[in-house]
Structure 1
């Protein structure tokens, strides 16, 4: 039995050596795989950290822009408020001064000249309208002279630009 024990011990040692070397190979293989995975994870971690830094820069930039936009908005709101107050002030001034200005304008000579010209145009239009009605009603009749036609001798007559309109009957010659 002693021999058998020794044989079994030797076999056991050989098995331990064989299994130990296989186990050692498996452990070394697993360690190598884990080392490569650690390297890959370190690279991914570095990439993620860089991406995180980039995103922090973007967030800081956007935050600064947001502050600028808020400041601009407040400035614009203040400007709108100021303009609104100015409009209200101008409207009240217009109500107070508008009637005076209109009265002053109507009293001016330019307004009077324009009224006279408007009267002349109205008179001339009425004359032509009556003349057309007359010619339609009496086609065989004729009118000697149209007072609004320009005559060659009228082109050399000097007149003031603001000549008063006189619609009285001219004296017979």
Structure 2
């Protein structure tokens, strides 16, 4: 394995590490140095320095990111995946709860991916260190480095398993969220249809009330018209006509007698005689305007 200036080795990535982690490699592992190659042998031959560096890497890799807090939120960044919300639609409490769980799980998956990338980088560095120790180091240092790599590989496998399970739960939550949104859209559609039906019923009710008010206004007039067309009304008019005619006769007779005191009226035409009751007479008599027969 070729060495670079400063006793450091180039940072290589495995195919899985495609995302640049926020907690990147140590600054001294990436920063070019102008030190001579003689310093590299001093640093590689320092067991205390290598042991301390390896312990720091293991401790840092074993801390779950969700215990340290999402770096994407602490640095003011947002996850690359965004969930679009339909405009003009208010979310229900159940959907808000599912959305919160969905985002929390997404943050956990995001941080797990960053941790896997970070641990993969550490393993690559340790493998490079092992190669360097094999080239010019003691067997004890090589064994210690291999033990660190094995421990980190176990931690990496466990983290990858957790990430896979979290991705499965994330997919399940995504499906449930889409189903809830579909149910919510259907419920809103039904609510809109119910509102349209309610508006139509209100219009029909208003029209019925207007018709009722119009009928109430026309009812007295119709009742009067019906009463005027009834038989009782016609008979009443006839009786009123006879009474008025008789009253007028009596008034004219009184005036005649007051004007002609010596005159006498042979009989009263309105006097009821018993012999007239036996004479048949129709109530309705056709008017005869012909000349009477000569006697």
TM, length-normalised to structure 1: 0.50
More helix by share: 1
Q: CA offset at residue 55 of structure 1?
A: 2.0
Distance 1:20 1:97, change over 3 A: same
The equivalent residue for 2:232 is 105
Q: CA offset at residue 93 of structure 1?
A: 3.5
Q: CA offset at residue 39 of structure 1?
A: 0.5
Q: CA offset at residue 99 of structure 1?
A: 6.3
Q: CA offset at residue 29 of structure 1?
A: 0.8
1: distance between equivalents of 2:149 and 2:228? 116
The equivalent residue for 1:161 is none
Q: CA offset at residue 15 of structure 1?
A: 1.5
Distance 1:70 1:48, change over 3 A: same
1: distance between equivalents of 2:209 and 2:46? 105
**Structure 1: gaps of 5 or more residues:** 110-173
The equivalent residue for 2:215 is 86
Pair 1:26-2:191 in alignment: no
The equivalent residue for 1:69 is 198
2: distance between equivalents of 1:79 and 1:6? 101
Distance 1:7 1:14, change over 3 A: farther
Which of 171, 188, 195 is 1:42 aligned to? Answer: 171
2: distance between equivalents of 1:74 and 1:101? 37
Q: CA offset at residue 68 of structure 1?
A: 1.2
The equivalent residue for 1:57 is 186
The equivalent residue for 1:145 is none
Number of equivalenced pairs: 103
2: distance between equivalents of 1:62 and 1:85? 34
Q: CA offset at residue 108 of structure 1?
A: 4.7
**Structure 2: gaps of 5 or more residues:** 1-43, 48-136, 237-295
Q: Which moved more, 1:10-19 or 1:33-42?
A: 10-19
Secondary structure of the corresponding residue to residue 89 of structure 1: helix
